[in-house]
Amino acid sequence: MLKIKVNNKFNFELSSERNQTLINGLPFQGDILKVNSRSFNVLYNNKSFNAELIEFDKQKKTCSVKVGNNIYSMQMTDQFDELLHQLGMDNLNIVKVSEIKAPMPGLVLRILASEGEVVQKGGNLLVLEAMKMENIIKAPADVIIKSVKVNPGDKVEKNQVMMIFS
């Protein structure tokens, strides 16, 4: 069983029974031909469609598929994902970070994020000069800046708290 959510609107359940593919419990009356690693030809209701896999993330179980001029974003869950969700264990990989500390002694050159700002994982927070090199300190997770504890020109020691997140 595979549940597929398309464009955060439409839900489909894909399963297999007696060598037949079922979509929402009904037999799939069509055919899919793989053209190459990213292109497929789909025959459904006596109509032919060309589909192109644009993006695929195996870890997140997401993909984007282009059919004609339309792009469809899909999120997939299987029976194991559903079981983890029912047990409340589906968010164990979410990283909770409360602060960012200086990874080394240095001089704060620039603050790139301000209090109250939402910063995505990998987004720039500040520039720290250490050993004559400028190091951009990035957000380790999706965060909201609660307070900035340093200013440009401040010298920081290793493990000194530079920003606090909420």
**Which of 60, 86, 112 delimits the end of a domain?**
86
91 occurs within a structural domain: no
pLDDT at 83 (0 to 100)? 81
Closest CA to 98 of 144, 150, 159: 144
* Cα 130 to Cα 66: distance, rounded to the nearest angstrom: 46
Residues 40 and 105 in one domain: no
> In this predicted structure, what is the pLDDT of residue 88?
73
pLDDT band at 50 (very low <50, low <70, confident <90, very high): very high
Q: What is the pTM of this model?
A: 0.53
pLDDT at site 33: 94
Separation between Cα atoms, residue 15 and residue 47, nearest integer Å: 23
Q: Could you list the residue range(s) of the whole structural domain that residue 39 is in? A: 2-86
Higher-pLDDT residue of 84 and 65 is: 65
Q: What is the pLDDT of residues 122-143, one digit of tens each?
A: 999 999 999 889 999 999 888 9
Q: How much is the pLDDT for 94?
A: 61
Residues 67 and 71: their CA atoms lie apart, in Å, by 6
Element (H, E) at 81: helix 79-86
Domain count along the chain: 2
Residues 17 and 63 in one domain: yes
Reported as a single tens digit per residue, the pLDDT across 16-43 is: 888 889 999 999 888 999 999 999 999 9
79 and 111 share a domain?
no
* pLDDT tens profile 69-95: 999 999 999 888 888 778 777 666 565
- 153 with 131, same domain: the answer is yes
Q: State mean pLDDT over 104-115.
A: 95
Per-residue pLDDT at 93: 59
Q: Based on the domain organization, do 31 and 60 belong to the same domain? A: yes
Instruction: Give the single-character DSSP code of 83.
Output: H
Note whether residue 107 is domain-resident. Answer: yes
